[in-house]
A and B are shown apart, each in its own frame.
Chain A
Amino acid sequence: MSAVTALGRLRAAATGYAQPAATVRHRHLSDRPLVFVPYAMAGEAFAPLAALIGDDPDAPHLFVVPQPRDRQRRFAHVAELARILVPYLTEHLSSTETVERRNDEAYERALDAPQVIVPSRGGIEYLHLLGRSTRFRRTEGEYAVHPDVPLMGRWCTYLADRARMPGSSVLLALTDLLTQTWSTGQSDLENGELAALMGWVDPERGRTGAETARDAEGAPPAGPATAPEFDEKLAPLIAAYDTAERAENSRAAARAEERIRDLLGVELMPTWHRVWRGLELMRELPPGASVAGRWETDRMSYSLFAADLDSPDSRPQPRIPGAVAAAQQLSRREQAQSRLDTEQLRDDPLLMAEARLSGQAFRGRVAAVEADRMVTEPGKKQARPRPLLVVRTTDEPLLLRETELECVERPKARAKLIAVADGPDGTREVRIELTGGMGRGKTPEEGSIPEEGELLCWTVAASGFRGGPKWPSPEETPWTHGGPPEPRKELQEGEVRQPDEEELAAAEEPWV
């Protein structure tokens, strides 16, 4: 955390109102996101208890499992979820554009992609477990499930995996969106609970954010974990349902189920409304300039995953990824993280303020321009345009000579730092040499050189996104990493892939 962020939090604590932590929205928001508010039963590995789901704030679907330990009811529940989720997740696949790729075949990219919003990070883990517990299920034989169930499992796994890719927006926790945008006067731990966080961000009339947040601490939790005192109320209702089921009294069982449903609906609704309200607040902020570019990467990832699902050789995501796949995934996430950091910094002057405070960037007016300066660089025959700028700033850049710089306001421009000297009135004068963004000609392109008086922000140039290391193919996995996996069987024309041992074991594992 930098002092700029810290000050926002201090100011929030002192005033009782949330303070801006960002000046733009750094994530894509869909016009029609799907909100998913799940609850799981306490103490179980993964036993869905209830969920509110839907894309219409006024018409959520409420699905409830009256006895979460009952296997049949669980699968009935996931089939209900699949009826909403699968159509939503696949509906964008029909309208696509053809995209050419440099070292690969062209592919069809969906024009838009789905977006699932959960209240807090627990919801992302919930989707991961929902995917893990359903994607291996068989659609025939004993314990057969509806074909949509394993399909939804693979989609949920995709979403939960993708959510770990920095900057992605197909699955977002609202608490993450809000804390990136606002600083509150409470700790990160307290920000993890949506009700209190929304109290700060969206105070009630006539009350401060701090007061609203304090009041909200008794509110139903955003899940997936339930409140223990709520479970005390729920336990006798579930017991009543069990008794009625045992007595085969279907009317009593239906009544008990109705009561459980009502209780859970009342507990979940406040979170449902909060999520939509939170999204509304997020929409009021303009998106960062690079948000669309990152969403394009999401659309690509979505389209490629859907294409893989369609291929006859497609298999569910493994329980534990192979060594090569895991290393690739980590490296992709690292690259995405550095791309995200760079882009967010350039999109958001408040984040840039942190870089300026730490001396990694400076902003000021151009005090002098030597536009027709030409330099013959060592080893070159021809002199190239190397205009010189003097930028006067109140910032305190801590940059070495020769540091490569880029400019927020003129994204094409590249420059090199020559010297920093003291200027008038406690300012600093940074001499920089333009090295790029002036076109290929012998003279700089029209308008490519900043003019005197322009207000510009310069920062250390991003190192660029390298392709990353060359990875071995899975067949060449070194013995240190477990050696090559069992070779895959070649499929004949029209043959359907059979699940391997690993998948069969996972399909047969009890879910009790």
Chain B
Amino acid sequence: MGTTDTRLDLLRGSLPTRNHNARTVAALAANPGCARRGVMDAAGIDKTVLAARLGQATAYGQSPFAIVRGHAFEALVKADGGAGLRELLHDVLGVPPEAVADGEYAELGGELPEDAEQDKKRPGREERVARTRSALRRALEDARPGLCAILDHPLLPLDVSGTRAYLEPDAMACLIAGRLHVVEIKSFSVIDGGADPAKLASAARQAAVYVLALQQTMAELGHPPDVVSTDVVLVCPKDFSNQPTAALLDIRKELAVTRRRLARLARVDDLLAPLPAGLSFDLGEEAAPQAVADAVAAVPAAYIPGCLSTCELAYFCRAEARACQSGHGPGGLAGTLGTAIRGELGGIDDIGRALDLADGKCAPERGEEEIARVLRRAEALRREVLDDVAARRSAGLAGAVAAS
């Protein structure tokens, strides 16, 4: 069967690679039951290319305007060796300005965007991890009041289902008494003290991944994990200006969720074990979409609508879930309609089967009697009401015609 690495290499073939980042770890943790995503992420496959070969390309990516603005804002926050950032830290952490005014400013790589190709001049990932560790060690050994080291683009390793992912927070601040704060710089605006809830939630989920990775690193360095603050410093533009403002984001909930879900992720070995030997997703650029689809379908997915905003393969998995049938009528899996509806169906996953139960065309299995009864009554009520309304409308129309 080969080692895990050789099997993953075989799966990937010559498909372009893509490393984990906080966004992808958060997305994986959002749907821990999805073996397909687990395997693809472990193999480091760029799913955009795969989706295109499946004929299900997703319009994905970020606007060039947003990217430019994001980079410009981050540069502005970090200008002058982080002087502005120190000011914000003093503000938001409620410590005197002297407490954060001084300390090392360690630039730890990150000149290039994370998606860029490996540059020869850029240090390797393990080297950057080592530099980050030594910067952390220095900061903690030198810890004394009035000193606050700032780590710019540190690189933190995190074990994700048995493979090593590398995460790159925007910055970290090492404060007095060794408390570490993750700093997230985002270019969405805080207007009158409030921000877009969806963007805020996504920032909190990503920050939780950084905190988790930092806690692991600190544990390896022999420090208790609670030296890492669960209050993340979020830096955003204020109102309609470019002026940065900082706020503390309590990510304890997101941290607990991420930790629990990462622990639930099956180990890659276990995901690989049931797959046919010799399986590869790379069938060449000219391969028929159906052949690629067969290969991808060998790994089970757990599609939910949330995948549409977090996974490049979502259109493919959705089509698969919609086409899924279990000997009843069409409709596919109820999960394609959202999680709320699954609750309403009490464990019946197949839409065709739920409708057959509602229409009295099939008998409920043990334990399904109650939900089947509810569905039958609901269907009878629907029919009664809709037939009634239709009858009244056509009577009304007939009346109108007769009157004219």
Contacts and interface: CB of A to CB of B under 8 A. Distances in A.
A43 B381 CA distance: 49
A149 to B, nearest CB: 14
B230 interface: no
B385 A349 contact: yes
A175 B345 CA distance: 26
Question: B interface, by DSSP: helix, strand, loop or mixed?
Answer: helix
A231 interface: yes
Contact of B306 (A9, A129, A189): A189
A228 B61 contact: yes
B346 to A, nearest CB: 10
Nearest to A8: B382
Contacts of B309: 189
A240 to B, nearest CB: 15
Contact of A10 (B241, B351, B381, B388): B351
B239 A509 contact: yes
Interface in B306-359: 306, 308-309, 315, 322, 329-332, 334, 336-338, 340-341, 344-345, 351-352, 354-355, 358
B353 to A, nearest CB: 10
Given A14-B331, A353-B381, A357-B374, A510 B241 contact: yes
A512 interface: yes
Given A42-B66, A44-B65, A4 B382 contact: yes
Contacts of A511: 240-241
Nearest to B348: A10
B308 A190 contact: yes
A1 B65 contact: no
A462 interface: no
Contacts of A186: 305, 336-337
B273 interface: no
Nearest to B377: A357
Interface stretch (B97-105, B119-127, B129-137, B185-193): B185-193
Contacts of A474: none
A129 B188 CA distance: 14
A510 B239 CA distance: 9
A473 B318 CA distance: 55
Contacts of A132: 191-192
Size class of the contact patch on chain A: 35 or more
B238 to A, nearest CB: 9
Interface string A217-234: 110000000111101100
Interface stretch (B32-40, B67-75, B247-255, B284-292): B67-75
B65 A41 contact: yes
A191 to B, nearest CB: 10
Interface in A314-353: 319-320, 349-350, 352-353
A185 B388 contact: no
A427 interface: no
A411 B55 CA distance: 57
Contacts of A356: 381
B131 to A, nearest CB: 31
A101 B386 CA distance: 41
A133 interface: yes
Interface in A1-28: 1-4, 6-11, 13-14, 20, 23
A45 interface: yes
Given A6-B345, A350-B382, A232 B64 contact: yes
Given A43-B67, A353-B385, A10 B354 contact: yes
B4 interface: no
Q: How large is the interface on B (under 10, 10 to 19, 20 to 34, 35 or more residues)?
A: 35 or more
B198 to A, nearest CB: 11
Interface string A266-308: 0000000000000000000000000000000000000000000
A350 B243 CA distance: 52
A400 interface: no
Interface in B109-151: none
A263 to B, nearest CB: 14
B403 interface: no
A1 B344 contact: yes
A46 interface: yes
B235 to A, nearest CB: 14
B63 A42 contact: yes
B240 A46 contact: yes
A99 interface: no
A402 B80 CA distance: 75
Interface string B50-88: 000000000111111111111000000000000000000
A7 B338 contact: no
A187 B337 contact: yes
Contacts of B329: 14
A391 B284 CA distance: 71
B338 A189 contact: yes
A188 interface: yes
A218 B59 contact: yes
B99 to A, nearest CB: 29
Contacts of A319: 192
Contacts of B362: none
Interface of B: 59-70, 187-189, 191-193, 237, 239-243, 305-306, 308-309, 315, 322, 329-332, 334, 336-338, 340-341, 344-345, 351-352, 354-355, 358, 374-375, 377-382, 384-386, 388-389
User: Nearest 5 pairs between A and B by C-beta?
Assistant: A43-B66, A45-B189, A42-B63, A187-B305, A43-B69
10 contacts: A3-B377, A3-B378, A44-B65, A45-B240, A129-B191, A189-B305, A226-B63, A231-B65, A319-B192, A353-B381
